[in-house]
Amino acid sequence: MRGWTAGGWLACLGVLLPWLTWIPLTTDNPHAAVLLTPYWLLALGLLGALAGSLVRADRWLGVWIGVLVLRALPNTWPGTFEVVFLAALGAQGIVWVRALSQPQQRWLIRGLTASALGEAAYVGLQWLGWDPIWRGTDRAVMHLVGTLGNGNYVGAYLAMVTPLAPLWAMPVLLGGIGLSMSFTGMIAASIGILVRVGVSRRIWMLAGGVLALVVALHGVVSLQVRSVVWLAALRDSTWWSVLIGHGLGGWISRMPSIQPWQGVGEWFMQAHNDYLQLWYEAGVLGLLPVLVWIWRRRLWEGPYAGGAVAVLVVSATMFPFHLAVTGLTAVVVLGLATAPVEADAEQSG
């Protein structure tokens, strides 16, 4: 009976599929629909079966993927399947990482630390005027972006790993974030470290005051630019879109023509806020399971909570889940943070 969730669903889909070819889900051409509709339903059916399996391992992750699959059924935006596919694999990835043994988790953290140290060192080489992969020693075109092509990307990547790293490695990783000039990365890493060391309420209050001062001095312009786009997204809503969103992949298909240019200076192909973009595309029904999952899993507690909190902070002003490198790193960190805590977990790292 336990196998019915996934296998039974696919069996039912196999019975129904020949009778659904007339539905024009991805095209208005009935002749093309005969071929395209079964492909679309099969792809979403497989992901729906995966959602059913996920429910047994992690209820709210499975519910979230199930909601995305249902939301994708009538959706014709380009990139819809990509959103559901990568979200489903990411959710399954969290479950896979969570299942690792404690020694395997420690080895994984060592690997992440070594990679992040290498990335920070590469940013340092660029700062010294040497880019061995792309730009040689041409300082005129040198950018402090590591191997990721953007300072904010490398800052976000290092921020998610820094709270998991050994204490001796943190100064090097923080130095890499500083050289990358990633404001979000530095804030996320700092908060993650405070969570890891378990500071008192007074220290949190002091840190909040320092953060407010730093934002006032250095981060206002960046937040103002983002807020212009975020407000445009909020204005582009109806009661129906608030509930179910504009469609998966709808941000990149819709927002560039709605977003104001003045005061921004670039087209935001992502929202620079993964929570807002998920709400914009999937509505409250798509965002709520994620928020419930964060709350039920209590990501701010446990031996790896610092990394998880850094992921949550980075997601508020960046788009780590829309990039392969940072997205996979976030999945690994969240898997570690939600893994069962064993007796020696507090001594790891």
Task: Calculate what percentage of the chain has a pLDDT beyond 90.
Answer: 57
- 280-306: pLDDT as tens digits: 999 999 999 999 999 999 999 999 999
Same domain for 62 and 130, yes or no, is no
Cα 94 to Cα 337: distance, rounded to the nearest angstrom: 9
What is the rounded distance in angstroms from the CA atom of residue 20 to the CA atom of residue 289?
30
Q: What is the pLDDT of residues 1-18, one digit of tens each?
A: 344 567 777 888 888 888
Task: Please give the pLDDT value at position 1.
Answer: 38
C-alpha dihedral (72, 80, 246, 37), degrees to nearest 10: -50
What pLDDT is stored for residue 21 in this prediction? 86
Number of structural domains in the chain: 2
**Within this chain, do residues 140 and 277 fall inside the same structural domain, yes or no?**
yes
- In tens, the pLDDT along 240-272 reads 999 999 999 999 888 888 887 766 777 888 999
Predicted structure pTM score? 0.90
- Own/partner pairs for 288-295, CB < 8 Å, 24+ apart? 289/60, 289/61, 289/63, 289/64, 289/67, 290/60, 290/64, 292/60, 293/58, 293/60, 293/61, 293/64
Q: Is residue 88 part of a domain?
A: no
- Taking only the tens place, the pLDDT of each residue in 51-96 is 988 998 999 999 999 999 999 988 777 789 999 999 999 999 999 9
Q: Are residues 111 and 76 in the same domain?
A: no
Residues 283 and 166 in one domain: yes
Compute the average pLDDT of residues 91-102.
95
119/41 same-domain check: no
Taking only the tens place, the pLDDT of each residue in 114-169 is 999 999 999 999 998 888 888 776 665 567 789 998 999 999 999 999 999 999 99
303 with 186, same domain: the answer is yes
Share of the chain above pLDDT 70, in %: 89
CB 146 within 8 A of CB 122: yes
Q: Which of 35, 54, 81 is the last residue of a domain?
A: 81
Contact residues for 321 (Cβ-Cβ < 8 A; gap 6+): 90, 274, 315, 327, 330
For residue 87, tell me if it sits in a domain.
no
Q: Is residue 95 part of a domain?
A: no
Q: Which two tokens stand for residue 140?
A: 């005129």
Same domain, 19 and 124: no
Residue 281 contacts residue 251 (beta carbons within 8 Å): yes
Close Cβ partners of 164 (under 8 Å, ≥ 6 residues apart): 109, 112, 113, 196, 304, 306, 307, 333, 336, 349
Q: Are 125 and 131 in contact (CB under 8 A)?
A: yes
Q: What is the mean pLDDT of residues 180-198?
A: 91
78 within 8 A of 304, measured Cβ to Cβ: no
The CA distance from 20 to 17, in Å, is 5
What is the residue range of 61's domain? 4-81
Residues 233 and 165 placed together within one structural domain of the fold: yes
Asked whether residue 108 falls in the same domain as residue 182, the answer is yes
Q: Please indicate, yes or no, whether residues 69 and 159 belong to a single structural domain of this protein.
A: no
* Residues 217, 318 share a domain: yes
Q: Looking at the domain assignment, is residue 90 inside a domain?
A: no
pLDDT of residue 263: 66
Same domain, 172 and 119: yes
Task: Identify the pLDDT of residue 176.
Answer: 95
